[in-house]
Structure 1
Amino acid sequence: RSAIKNLYQYGIIAAHTEDLSYHGDVAEILQAYKEVTEETGFHTHLLVHHLVIDEFVQQQPILPSTMSIGAMKLFVDGALGGRTALLGRGYSDDPTTRGIEVHTPEQLEQLVKRARSYGFTVAAHVIGDLAIERFVQVLEKYPAPKGKRDRIIHATVVRPETLARIRKLPVLIDVQPVFLLDDADFIVDRLGLNRLDWSYRLRSLAETGALLCGGADAPISDPDVRRSLYAATEGTAGRVNKANETLSMYEALLLFTKNPHLATETHGRKGLLLPGYDADFVIFEEDFYRLRGEAILNNRLVETVQAGKTVYQAEAALI
């Protein structure tokens, strides 16, 4: 309840998350989500960690309209900050390591096969270029169920040849533009200038035809969507300049409005301001289309409306 109340202050009224293997029995966690989401109307789309996929399928839970279930979630590698993201060659500031491989290629294949046996798509945390290549290779061998899309989470460092392979796959990609800001102090040291060209490739990923959804990986990063809009459209932070990989403000806003509902197949009633859709919207003080640079970060959220009800209203600005 506290987390949802906090998210309302950022204009967030729904979230994609993955919590079913960290806090005890799956049934108890689902019950907690059921109680709180039905009470608040906050919609959650839950991924199912591979460690509890068998338990979840056996329980066959009946979920309320405020909850939906997505792909089976797994981790292929770690993160760039701790040098645990899996790279094709050693880190520039520590050539003795290429990161960690959470699962061997054989184990990764078996996990994807298990998901397919249950009719699930697969969502994989992949940050390093070798991790993404490994996951793409398995998806090519074991395609998603017809009409469904697997999920690539992060895709922070991607080789050009891997982009070409992604073009041929039915996937959606969770991108975190805010990582450009969060990683700016160390990313050049980790990757070097050459591999920096492979990183934070929002424009290149969009051009693969994959559906891009935006997130902040909260609570790892700040859920303030303004930071993500700033990073996605400006493409600069510290020593990093990715101006060639930026999105338009319209494309950046889609990452956090329409596209996540396309991913969860709730787009017929959510994600747009249209007659017949749920009255879910936020009001900012300024028009994002008129803003550039740090003015994006300073745009004040005035009101958050969920299903026609105001769930957050800022205090009146001091004159």
Structure 2
Amino acid sequence: MMVKITVDQIIGGIKMDTIFYNGKFRTMDKMNPEAEAVAVKDGIITRVGSNEEILALAEAHTKKVDLEGKFALPGFSDSHLHLIYYANTKRKVELSQARSIEEAISLCKAQLQEKSKEDGWLLGCGWNQEDWKVPVFPTKIDLDKISQDIPIAITRTCYHATVINSKAIELLGLNKEIPELSNGIVEVDENGQVNGILRESAQNIVWNYMGVPTLEDLKNRIEDACLDAASKGITAIQTDDFETFTGDTIDLIIKAYHELVSEGRLPVRVYQQCLLRTPEKLQAFLDKGYKTGYEFGLYKIGPLKLLNDGSLGARTAYMREPYHDDPSTKGVALYDPEQLTKMIKMGHENGMQIAIHCIGDAAIEMAVNSFEQVMLESPRTDPRHGIVHCQITDINLIERIKKLNLLIYAQPIFIRADKNIINQRVGEELGSTSYNWRAFADRNMHLSGGSDCPVEKFDTIPNMYCAVTGKNPERDSDPAWHPENCLTVDETVKGFTWEGAYAAFQENERGTISVGKYADMVVLSEDLYQVPEDQIKDIQVKMTMVNGEIKYSDL
């Protein structure tokens, strides 16, 4: 909800709560692109202008914040992540820095006693075998070197594959019987024995064994995770939380957010991407009165989220042609075309925005086909449906997406790891038209930026660096990935500010520093538009404001 402010109030009547001055504001508002100071009342921007004119509005009670000449933008928006998953990873062994299976084993051993205290399991996350000296998947044999007495489960960075040790296999009963799974794989070795690798829905065998946190514990985890996001300049997120835990925990999760809002403890705006895989789950959700647009303070129900395939790294992204480096598979389709169309139709006709996870070109094509059918049969004004990731594409697919006016939820930071495997997986020709942000921008498509955290960190600055340069921020001396497919700095900033707001139907409320919008802003150490491109990655967040309240400061 926006607060209406009259011209008379702005000119003479409102007593300003806070004035941020001595800044270098890039407002992203074409009518007033630059400013030195911003005045805020009740969380709303009431005036944007020069230091002199804005400071003249200050009264005795007005808080004045000197930005020390620093560069400021609208607050960053992360259009796709998994907030509660991220919160849970803080209790796990972080394996993203491992550069070999031996290093991963060593990291787990070092934290074996501490991390396994809470529930008796050692859990790890973030590993990527493509970063290792020998890029092969670990198995139970590797994890048994950590412990054969404590159950262990380590999840790949993409969250589409988990590896468990022999003790976990025993506890889960997989040494006796392998359950039949429609969308998952329990891998076996040459002797028909479970090797410890679980792909896609097979991972739920592990998570079903785990418990669910209490309401208070969950609230604390969410608040802590949101404060971490604020420290990176993020003021709004779109998060897919509903399947973080096993069982029906949707009511628990929504209640946690509601109570955090009521207690004034939700630091950033949250737009829930509602993962509801079946018609029955979607109908039960709708029957409770929820749909896109339901709002409770900073918490808002967003799109129906559907998963249509897996990940490129795990070779479960659904492809039209077999993988170049494994011709035995085309990946995993999590719906067939009829099922997907049914889910889209049900969501669309019940007022839901829809966002579909699609990485492989076959998954994207299936989603486009279904959208075309449903939107032709049931026209609806401005539904803002979209595709999350939309990585492996060709120009024909992009043109079809454009015609449907589908949103693209992109993660430029994926290029950090994926640039090393794209051509191996799909070949150079298809690789050259993939991760093609330039093609989206040239067609004036709605392209918002996100991180998919905890798949990647939700640090927006390195994400922007990838969008602009096509390089790995950790190894910027490496060649860029198809620099002709990159974005300009301005396009990138728009993708992480205004487009994020647009994807949440909030472009009239946030996304630019404009009178009448929420005072959501970020202050940076350097001017993104002025530093050389190779220095973008080094810029630091100095302050983050939501509703004019400082949620993080290093000034």
- Root mean square deviation, CA, Å: 1.7
Question: Residue 372 of structure 2 aligns with which residue?
Answer: 140
Number of equivalenced pairs: 315
Please tell me whether residue 32 in structure 1 is matched to residue 256 in structure 2.
yes
The whole-number CA distance in structure 2 between the counterparts of 1:251 and 1:116 is 30
The whole-number CA distance in structure 2 between the counterparts of 1:57 and 1:109 is 18
The whole-number CA distance in structure 1 between the counterparts of 2:509 and 2:395 is 37
The whole-number CA distance in structure 1 between the counterparts of 2:284 and 2:295 is 16
- 1:196-275 equivalent positions in 2, closer than 5 A: 196-237=431-472, 238=478, 241-275=481-515
Look up the SS of the partner of 1:173 in the other structure: strand
Look up the SS of the partner of 1:16 in the other structure: strand
Question: Residue 81 of structure 2 aligns with which residue?
Answer: none
Identical pairs, percent: 29
Provide, for residues 70-93 of structure 1, a one-character-per-residue CA deviation record: whole Å limited to 9, x for no partner: 221111111100111111111111
- Determine if contact 1:86/1:99 at 8 Å carries over to the other structure: yes
The whole-number CA distance in structure 1 between the counterparts of 2:537 and 2:480 is 18
Look up the SS of the partner of 1:178 in the other structure: helix
The whole-number CA distance in structure 2 between the counterparts of 1:169 and 1:6 is 36
- Determine if contact 2:415/2:481 at 8 Å carries over to the other structure: no
Provide, for residues 34-65 of structure 1, a one-character-per-residue CA deviation record: whole Å limited to 9, x for no partner: 12244234211112222332222111156412
The whole-number CA distance in structure 1 between the counterparts of 2:420 and 2:394 is 22
Which segments of 5 or more consecutive residues in structure 1 lack a partner in the other structure? none
Please tell me whether residue 83 in structure 1 is matched to residue 315 in structure 2.
yes
- Determine if contact 1:13/1:43 at 8 Å carries over to the other structure: yes
Look up the SS of the partner of 1:13 in the other structure: strand
Amino acid at match of 1:231: C
Tell me: higher relative CO, structure 1 or 2? Use CA pairs within 8 A at least 6 residues apart.
2
Question: Residue 50 of structure 1 aligns with which residue?
Answer: 276
Question: Residue 151 of structure 1 aligns with which residue?
Answer: 386
Provide, for residues 268-302 of structure 1, a one-character-per-residue CA deviation record: whole Å limited to 9, x for no partner: 22111112222111111100011234311111211
Which segments of 5 or more consecutive residues in structure 2 lack a partner in the other structure? 1-222, 473-477
- Determine if contact 1:172/1:210 at 8 Å carries over to the other structure: yes
Please tell me whether residue 72 in structure 1 is matched to residue 304 in structure 2.
yes
The whole-number CA distance in structure 1 between the counterparts of 2:546 and 2:341 is 41
Amino acid at match of 1:173: I
Amino acid at match of 2:233: G
Alpha-carbon deviation of 1:239? Answer: 5.4
The whole-number CA distance in structure 1 between the counterparts of 2:467 and 2:405 is 23
Amino acid at match of 2:542: V
User: Which of 525, 531, 550 is matched with 1:291 structurally?
Assistant: 531
Amino acid at match of 1:147: D
Alpha-carbon deviation of 1:240? Answer: 5.1
The whole-number CA distance in structure 1 between the counterparts of 2:312 and 2:270 is 28
Please tell me whether residue 6 in structure 1 is matched to residue 246 in structure 2.
no
- Determine if contact 1:188/1:239 at 8 Å carries over to the other structure: no
Alpha-carbon deviation of 1:95? Answer: 1.4
Question: Residue 163 of structure 1 aligns with which residue?
Answer: 398
The whole-number CA distance in structure 2 between the counterparts of 1:199 and 1:37 is 40
